[in-house]
Amino acid sequence: MNFEIKYKDARGRVGTLKTPHGTIKTPALMPVIHPGKQTIQVSDYGAEVVITNAYLIYKNEDLREIALEEGVHKLIDFPGPVVTDSGSFQLSLYGDVQVSNQEIVEFQEKIGTDIGTSLDIPTPPSVKRERAERELEITLQRASEALEVRDELMLNSVVQGSTYPDLRSKCADALGKMDFQVHPIGAVVPLMESYRYKELVEVVMASVTHLPDSRPRHLMGAGHPMIFALAVAMGCDLFDSAAYILYAEDDRLLMPGGTLKLENLYEMPCSCEVCTSYTPEQLRQMKKEERRELLAIHNLRVSFAEMRMIRQAIVEGSLWELVEQRCRAHPFLLEALRSLKNYSKDLEKYDPPYKNSAFFYTGPESLNRPEVYRHLKKMRRIPSKKSVLLLPRSSKPYSERLYDLPEKFYRITNEQENFEAKQDSLEHPKQSAESLNQQIIETQLEDMQVTVVDVPFGVIPLELDQVYPLAQNESPDSYDEDSLKMVGNVLQDYLEGFDEIIVSEEVAQTFALNTLPLEEYPFPEPLNIVVDDQKRIKMIADYQFGEGAGNGLFDGDVQIVKSRKTGKIRHVYDGEELIATLRASDGVFVLAREGARRLHRYLPYPKNRVVVNEDAEPFAREGKSIFAKFVINCDIDIHAKEEVLIVNAEDQLLAFGKSILNGKEILDFNTGQAVKTRKGGF
């Protein structure tokens, strides 16, 4: 098995799957090839891999003879990787097939299939649980038998269980312990045909969360481009369908936003060679066979273009935006997207925390994205000060746009000492009232957490306002009701950690804090708020590595160097020794050797660590990248693209670098890079 992940976003991954007849770039669409009727050379339109039906070949004497003598690749005239189905589709249609599991597995190996499939039982949706359980046991028995029968054939084994999530998970757990190479998720076509996309989400997530991360997942029968982005975001890597030809047969055109009927078209919908060469009327006047082939070409072009767009979105970190766009094509797709909030905890573990693309708020569904869930979780571990000042949003970064502050503030009253008592406690009786007020405010600001309230991240301490994605996000100027409610709830939880709360009039009115007991608070003008650089670097480190990491990294007399061009923090030194660099693109720290040493001393084992075996130890010390097969342990909470420490079994620091995979994936994979080492030499 040789599957390697190159890029990640959400649960989606761009990867490579090596087979005997070539490498498949995932996510990938596998056009269905009928072994006796194919007229279109799908490789001409972007296909790297195809799927055909071994059972149809087996049952046809002429096809079987050619396949056995010359191989399935010659039979269907496709030189690249070929996946074969076992006859399960026919079993679902007719209730029976005239071949045994052992016979069809052996046949697939004899005809040179790259990836074969065991003869599972495709249990349809919404059947009685007793039937689903009975057929699931048969599927698992046949899966085990297929492994005993095969010699070197790469094998699929299909996750079944109807629409019972617990049965899907049970099946995935069992198959994951067996030596399969790919895991299709089967019997989902009826869900897609009846627009039951919310149930599709439940079936897919119940399956992928229990399958090994190191194996590709294949969503069987999913051939419409409008579903690709959502399925990829849930962790599906391979798709197959005959939709391109079946829809063409019915004079329908596939598009990422839905399906178009030729009879209704005034203009052609895209820029493929079919749409730019013919008008709708010309196509309608053609003979059926010629029109069908042209529409099938259009459908292939659109489908492969969508897959390329998805891969690009994963690389640049904008997959969620694409998913939100696509799911607005149909109300039931939008419902399915909203149901993903039930899986926020899982999705956050797989979603990289730092991306090349800004966060775009496209609607209430964006509030459920992993970036928001992660930020709010991190805010619960950021140490709180005694008092907080809540400011409305401004241009980003907020700390550089504080020249236009609100004119009126309120204090949320409680039983803590009031403003007048603080005045009396100061030992400056001869000062004027105005001067005294100013001193009180300045003294308070030193121990006050200044926080901006904004959508979609709720609360943003000024010290963090340059960290991704808090600075790299855009949302409309006007708040929608869902975002107001969400931020209001966040504020209630956030404010519980403070003894004193000062809030601007705009924040109080916008987020319904005026329902609380408020008293006007006399902040003098101008209000001079300056973010302390020492506090900034420590809070960023806490946010990035965990509570207390700031003191561990930057304890003592450290020197902060700023960019001459932007005035922003760039480097932190201890004397002549570089501790860390604050990366301009996302506002987080990139460790230097001294920073790695300090973090290693501070963080308890195995926090932020990737542990390698003895074979990899000398390569790590030389600064070579770490491959997953050499990892013997790691922090399970590591995310992709995070700064990590590379150690040996005795927790000796060997090197440090950037993780390619998350902790769970690092432990599960046996191929590909796990960490891109930055420096060794310890």
Q: Do the Cβ atoms of 603 and 591 come closer than 8 Å?
A: no
Which tokens sit at 324?
A: 């939100």
What tokens were used for 527?
Answer: 């209000």
Query: How many whole angstroms separate alpha carbon 159 and alpha carbon 50?
Result: 20
Q: What are phi and psi of 5, to 5 degrees?
A: -95, 130
**Amino acid found at 45:** Y
Contact 591, 599 (CB under 8 A): yes
* Fold of domain 3-350: TIM Barrel (3.20.20)
Residues of the chain with pLDDT under 70: 1, 92-95, 403-406, 414-445, 524-527
Helix (H) or strand (E) holding 46: none
Q: How far apart are CA 26 and CA 445, in angstroms?
A: 52
Helix H or strand E encompassing 194:
none
532 near 454, Cβ under 8 Å? no
Residues of the chain with CATH 2.30.130.10: 540-679
Percent composition of the chain: helix, strand, coil (DSSP 3-state, to 5): 40, 20, 35
Backbone angles phi, psi at 630, to 5 degrees: -95, 0
DSSP state of 519: E
Cβ atoms 108, 54 nearer than 8 A? yes
pLDDT for residue 596: 97
Strand (E) or helix (H) holding 94 = helix 88-94
Q: Which residues contact 384 (CB under 8 A, 6 or more apart)?
A: 449, 497, 498
Strand 626-627 with 631-634, pairing: unpaired
Cα distance between residue 167 and residue 161, in whole Å: 5
User: What's the pLDDT at 562?
Assistant: 95
Q: Which residues pair with 7 in a beta bridge?
A: 14
The label of the residue with tokens 């966060």 reads 359
Instruction: Give burial (CB, 10 Å; 0-12/13-18/19+) of 360.
Output: middle
Spatial separation of the C-alpha atoms in residues 587 and 12, rounded to whole Å? 25
Q: Give just the sign of the alpha carbon dihedral 12, 14, 19, 23.
A: positive
Q: Which entry of 9, 44, 85, 542 is annotated as an active-site residue?
A: 85
Residues ≥6 apart with Cβ < 8 Å to 366: 320, 324, 359, 360, 372, 456, 475
| Euclidean distance between CA atoms 532 and 18, whole angstroms | 52
* Concatenated DSSP letters of 530-583: ---HHHHHHHHHHHHH-TTHHHHHH-SS-EEEE-TTT--EEEEEETTEEEEEE-
Q: What is d(CA 324, CA 563) in angstroms, rounded to the nearest whole number?
A: 37
Nearest residue to 256 (alpha-carbon basis) of 328, 193, 337: 328
Tokens of 241: 């369908």
Q: Which residue has the tokens 């010699």?
A: 151
Contact 543, 378 (CB under 8 A): yes
| Cβ-contact 29, 42 below 8 angstroms | no
Paired strand residues for 627: 673
Q: DSSP secondary-structure letter at 119? A: -
Nearest-CA neighbor of 29 among 318, 321, 306, 324?
306
Tell me whether residue 85 is one of the annotated catalytic residues: yes
* Comma-separated ranges of CATH 3.20.20.105 domains in the chain: 3-350
Integer angstrom CA distances of residue 349 from 198, 346, 465: 22, 5, 23
594, burial (CB in 10 Å: exposed 0-12, middle 13-18, buried 19+): middle
Q: What is the rounded distance in angstroms from the CA atom of residue 208 to the CA atom of residue 198?
A: 16
Instruction: Go through the chain and tell me how many residues it has.
Output: 682
DSSP E strands, 576-636: 577-582, 589-591, 609-612, 626-627, 631-634
**55 Cβ partners below 8 Å, 6+ apart?**
85, 86, 87, 90, 97, 99, 104
CATH number given to 540-679: 2.30.130.10
Residue whose entry in the numeric block shows the structure tokens 């000042």: 389
At residue 632, φ and ψ (nearest 5 deg) are -110, -15
- For 493, residues 6+ apart whose C-beta sits below 8 A from its C-beta are none
Q: What is the pLDDT of residue 404?
A: 66
Q: Determine the 3-state secondary structure of 294 from DSSP.
A: helix
Which pLDDT value is given to residue 252?
A: 98
Closest CA to 30 of 202, 182, 248: 182
Q: How far is CA 299 from the centre of its chain?
A: 27
Helices 288-316 and 225-233: crossing angle, nearest 10°? 30
**Cα separation, 572 vs 664, whole angstroms:** 32
Joined together, the tokens standing for residue 471 give 């600075």
- Is residue 463 within 8 Å of residue 535, measured between CB atoms? yes
Say what the pLDDT of residue 522 is.
Answer: 78
pLDDT score of 415: 45
